[in-house]
Amino acid sequence: MINQPSGELYIVATPIGNLDDITHRALNTLKSVDFIAAEDTRHSARLLQHFNITTAMIAYHEHSDTKRLQKICQLLTSGKSVALISDAGTPLISDPGFQLVKTVREQGINVVPIPGVCAMVAALSVAGLPSDRFVFEGFMPAKKNARCQYLQALSHEERTIIFYESSHRILASVSDMRDILGDTRRAVIARELTKTFETVLEGDLQTLVDKLTADSNQQRGEFVVMVSGYKKADEFSSITEPVSHMMTTLLEELPIKKASAMCAKLTGLNKRDLYQWALAQKDS
Ligand code: SAM
């Protein structure tokens, strides 16, 4: 029996709105493969039609069972080439494909990236937030309690944090971010990137909640929300120059606990914040 060489699996990025963002390589790949595995074949039919691509499609989505996965593996081992696409952007990034790529790689079959658009990269590239180190969190939990716990766990993350969000939850999510990460934390909301109503809003979380509330159009479409990382200094933003002077004077006469309590009484500031500030001064 002659061993047939395996086909290759191509992971092809497609536009997130503006069809001009498709790459030449993506088009050539989609035209030349034997099959296109698509998250939603009806949705992708429109893309393929636009570019006069007639390659046969098969469905591969989040709920595809192992039979479907095996079918794609069989196609590949029998020498057929397959391109995986999602509804928009890069497959596997908050989109189906991980299990397929893992399985295919385990079988020693080549997986080839055909890079292109990804909403979070496009958003980060225009946000003006630190981009040297960042974390991508995808979609947060849909339910408020779970979402708040999730945000709590991220509250001391020092890197820029990137989320995906839908129109149903954008206001609730940004409001929870404000409540948990603090109203002064800076953030950027990138909406409808590459589309007609592309908007990039920036400001502290309170300002962003106000902007979303004031104009319901700002709650429509698709969103990438980027929040600047936690800065140690944020913790003590209430300790202004006069307060630190008062604390320093009190600390010359009193132990930390008493000095913090007295300063809290005089300024109305939080006793615990003042205590933590005093401890941090001792350590520094
Ligand atoms: N795989 C895609 C990628 O590479 O970005 C992401 C797919 S995920 C199911 C869809 C989410 O991506 C949307 O809910 C939104 O958060 C974000 N997104 C997709 N297109 C976008 C756009 N044009 N503008 C802003 N965010 C977008």
Query: Tens digit of pLDDT for each residue in 173-231?
Result: 999 999 999 999 999 999 999 999 999 999 999 999 999 999 999 999 999 999 999 98
Q: Give dist(CA 224, CA 213) in Å, integer.
A: 17
Is 94 a pocket residue for ligand 1 (Cβ < 6 Å)? yes
Q: Which residues contact 60 (CB under 8 A, 6 or more apart)?
A: 37, 38, 39, 68, 69, 72, 84, 96, 97, 100
What does the block give as tokens for 34? 């034997």
Any idea what DSSP says for residue 200?
E
The residue whose CA has the least distance to atom 26 of ligand 1 is 223
Any ligand 1 atom below 6 A from CB of 199? no
Quote the pTM value.
0.85
Per-residue pLDDT band at 64 (split at 50, 70, 90): confident
**Would you state the pLDDT for residue 281?**
84
**How high is the pLDDT of residue 6?**
83
The Cα 6–Cα 19 span in angstroms is 31
Q: Residue 163's CB: how many other CB atoms inside 10 A?
A: 25
Distance (Å, whole) CA 228 – CA 121 = 15
The Cα 188–Cα 200 span in angstroms is 7
Whether 233 shows a pLDDT value over 90: the answer reads: no
pLDDT of residue 74: 96
Contact assessment for residue 109 and residue 9, using Cβ atoms and an 8 Å cutoff: yes
Q: Indicate the top mutation candidate among 14, 16, 218 to test ligand 1's pocket, ranked by most ligand atoms within 8 A of CB.
A: 16
Confidence bin at 3 (pLDDT 50/70/90)? low
Query: Mean pLDDT lowest for which of 52-66, 82-96, 107-121?
Result: 52-66
- Check residue 148 and give its pLDDT: 97
pLDDT in the model for residue 71: 95
Concatenating the DSSP letter of every residue in 112-165 gives EEE----HHHHHHHHH-S--SSEEEEEEPPSSHHHHHHHHHHHTT--SEEEEEE
Tell which one of 120, 126, 220, 222 to mutate to probe ligand 1, the residue whose CB is within 8 A of the most ligand atoms. Answer: 222
Cα angle, residue 138 at apex, residues 167 and 18 outer, rounded to 5°:
60
Task: Provide the pLDDT confidence category of residue 234 given band limits of 50, 70 and 90.
Answer: low
Of 238, 266, 224, nearest in space to 129 by CA:
224
Query: Pairing relation of β-strands 9-12 and 82-85?
Result: parallel
pLDDT of res. 283: 67
Q: Find, among 138, 202, 208, 150, the residue nearest to 175 by Cα.
A: 208
Residue nearest to atom 16 of ligand 1 (CA): 164
Structure tokens at 87: 């509804």
* Average confidence score pLDDT of the chain: 94
Phi, psi of 155 (to 5 degrees): -65, -25
Which pLDDT does position 90 carry in this prediction? 98
Give the Å distance between the CA of 47 and the centre of ligand 1: 16
Asked whether 88 lines ligand 1 (CB < 6 A), one says yes
